[in-house]
Each structure stands twice: as C-alpha cells, then as structure tokens.
A and B are shown apart, each in its own frame.
Chain A
Amino acid sequence: MSDSVPILKIGSTLLVSIQVDLQDDTALQLQEDLAERITRTGARGVVIDISGLEIVDSFIGRMLASVAAISRVLDAQTVVVGMRPAVAITMVELGLSLGGVRTALDVERGLAMLAPAHESAESVLLAAAAERESR
C-alpha cells in the first residue's frame, strides 16, 4: 500500500492536492475517501489540484471522471485544476476528454467557480469582518 492523499476542508469545499506519483490503488482509495468525506461533511464542492501530476493516463483520467460523477450524485460539484500543458496535450491525444469534468487553471479559479453554488469565500470574509466590527 502507498500513502493516502490528504483531503482538506475549507468551508463547504473539500480540497485535494495530489503531490505524489499516483499509483492505481492510491487513486481508487482517494475516490472512496472523497465520497465518504462528502457525505460526512455535507461538502458542496470538491477541488482537485493536479498541478503536481506529471502524467494523467487512462486510469487516473477515469478516476477523475468517476469522482466528478460520484460527487454529482452526492450533490457536490467537482473542479479539476492545475493541469500542466504537456499533460493536457497528451491526454487529448490519448483519447481522454474528461467529459463531464469541470476544469479551471488554478486553485483560486476553481474555488471561484464553485462559489456561486454556495457561499463565496469573499462573502464569508465580509460577514466575518462585519461581525468583528459590530462587537
């Protein structure tokens, strides 16, 4: 077995940053862990940062598509962010289109994409600031 991939919770969003060369069993474990965390926390969004991945082959591509489909069924949206240009070129040539998976260039844009679905990070910060002032 290899190390599992950590899942962080920020507000109602789960953030996963894949920093290791994913082996197949780790990818499957991540898929299960995410489904479990979405139901347990009621998360509405999942951001998967793949900027650390040097390749996305058919197995990892299928894992990303499955996570998007599973989270959709569990009432959460998934955004895959940070794909390297060489990975994008290779994936398309391989024949993987990641249909049904939303993508953004980086974590910040990914979080912004999810923001309208629930509360935006900005509105949370504004509310917190207003609360401090009213004290």
Chain B
Amino acid sequence: MTTAPSATATERLEVRADSDVVRVRQLVRTVAQQARLSLVDQTKLVTAASELARNTLVYGGGGEVEVELVADGRRSGVRAVFSDEGPGIADLDLALTDGWTSGNGLGLGLSGSRRLVEQFSIDTAPGAGTRVEIVTWSR
C-alpha cells in the first residue's frame, strides 16, 4: 500500500460563505459516487467535509477545498484537502477533543469528522493556517 495513489482531475472550490459549504458537500458527494463508496460511507464523508469546510470558513476566515478521485490500483477513493491562512491551532490535542470548542460550536467538528473518515491528517501551527486532509476508500 505504499504506491502513490494516481489522481484524476482535482476540483477546487473557494470557501467564503455559507453557500460555499453547501457547494463543497455537493462536490464531495459527486466524487464519492464516482469512487463507488457505499451510501453510508458517502454520508460519513460528506458530513466530515461539511464540518471541515465550516471550520475553514468560521475559524480559518475562509480558504479553499480541493477534492479529487484517487486510485491505488485496487480501490478508488476520495481525497479532500481543506486549507486556510487563518490563525492556526495552538493546541492540537485539545482541538481534537470531543466537546472542546474555541468558538460557540458543539466541539464535534474536528474530533467527529476524524471518526467519519479512513485517513485524517492535520498540519497547523499558530499563525501558519490550517490544512486538513481526509481520504476514504471504497471497500
């Protein structure tokens, strides 16, 4: 499983308003169907994408999302990357704790979306923005 997934066209969306979060959900849904994810896996992935796109908007002050269909020879999958140039996250462990929020949310966005996808990685530092990458593969 060390082969680099081959990628097809990458779709990029800006996240600047509530309506963009809906657009991200719709794009991820479309690509998840192309990747032949099961309905439950599609729903989990789209829900995670919705949480992360909202984080990009609310905490990151806006940013962009890249979505692509990926393949590793055997399986197809969806990769989505959420990036912003916002304040970043100082204490990542805390931010990944259920129920903890720096805003007025439920504190489930980051921790909950991590549970909904197969691969989750986050790259952030104070003042350096935040980049979250998620991948879910077909079974």
Contact = CB atoms under 8 A, between A and B. Distances in A.
A24 B25 contact: no
Interface residues of A, number: 26
A94 B113 contact: yes
Interface stretch (A10-18, A33-41, A50-58, A71-79): A50-58
A94 B21 contact: no
Given A87-B43, A94-B108, A94-B115, A58 B51 contact: yes
Interface in A80-124: 84-87, 89-91, 93-96
B19 A90 contact: no
B108 A89 contact: no
A57 B47 contact: yes
Nearest to B105: A58
A23 interface: yes
Interface residues of B, number: 27
Contacts, number: 76
A61 B112 CA distance: 13
Given A23-B21, A58-B51, A96 B108 contact: yes
Interface in B86-139: 98, 105-106, 108-109, 111-113, 115-116
B25 A58 contact: no
A86 B106 contact: no
Contacts of A84: 43
A88 to B, nearest CB: 10
A90 B116 contact: yes
A57 B44 contact: no
Prevailing SS type, chain A contact patch? helix
A94 B116 CA distance: 7
A56 B105 CA distance: 15
A24 B50 CA distance: 11
Given A21-B25, A21-B26, A94-B108, A54 B43 contact: yes
Interface string B19-41: 10110011001000000000110
B46 interface: yes
A62 interface: yes
A59 B51 CA distance: 8
Interface of B: 18-19, 21-22, 25-26, 29, 39-40, 42-44, 46-47, 50-51, 54, 98, 105-106, 108-109, 111-113, 115-116
Given A58-B106, A91-B47, 15 more contacts: A21-B22, A21-B25, A23-B22, A24-B21, A57-B50, A58-B51, A58-B105, A61-B106, A62-B106, A85-B40, A89-B44, A94-B47, A94-B51, A94-B112, A94-B116
